Amino acid sequence: MDGASLRAGAVGAVSGVKNPISVARRVLERTSHVLLVGVGAEEFARQLSLLDDSIVVGYDPRTEQKKKRLDDAVRLLVDEGFSYQEHAGPRKTAETLIRLQLDGKLEPLQQRYRETLSSGTVSASSLDRHGNYAAGASTGGWTLTIPGRIGDSPLIGCGAYADNKAGCSSTAGVRGEENARLGGLTRMICDHMRTGHTAQDAVTIATSYAHKRIGLTLKRGTLIAIDGRGGVGVNGGHHADPIGVCYLREGAQRPIYPLESSTN
Which of 138, 175, 168 minimizes the C-alpha distance to 153? 138
Query: What was the pLDDT predicted at 82?
Result: 75
Q: What is residue 117's predicted lDDT score, i.e. its pLDDT?
A: 53
Q: Are the C-beta atoms of 197 and 230 separated by less than 8 Å?
A: no
Predicted local confidence at residue 85, as pLDDT = 57
Active-site residue among 96, 121, 186, 207? 121
Domain range list for the chain: 1-60, 64-114, 121-263
Which element (helix H / strand E) includes 224? Answer: strand 222-227
List the one residue out of 18, 17, 20, 257 whose CA is nearest residue 137.
20
207 catalytic per annotation: no
Q: Which long-range contacts (CB under 8 A, 24 or more apart) does 233-240 make?
A: 233/189, 233/198, 233/199, 233/200, 233/201, 233/202, 233/203, 233/204, 234/200, 234/203, 234/258, 234/259, 235/203, 235/204, 235/207, 236/262, 237/207, 238/173, 239/118
Q: So what's the architecture of 121-263 in CATH?
A: 4-Layer Sandwich (3.60)
pTM of the complete model: 0.88
* Per-residue pLDDT at 239: 45
Task: Name, in order, each residue with C-beta under 8 angstroms of 62's C-beta and a sequence gap of 6 or more.
Answer: 70
pLDDT at 19: 92
Query: pLDDT tens digits for the chain (264 residues)?
Result: 999 999 999 999 998 999 999 999 999 999 999 999 999 999 999 999 999 998 999 988 777 877 787 788 888 888 877 765 544 677 888 888 899 899 998 888 888 876 555 557 899 999 999 999 999 999 988 888 898 999 999 999 999 999 999 999 999 988 899 999 999 999 999 999 999 999 999 999 999 999 999 999 887 788 999 999 999 999 865 444 444 788 888 888 888 887 654 433
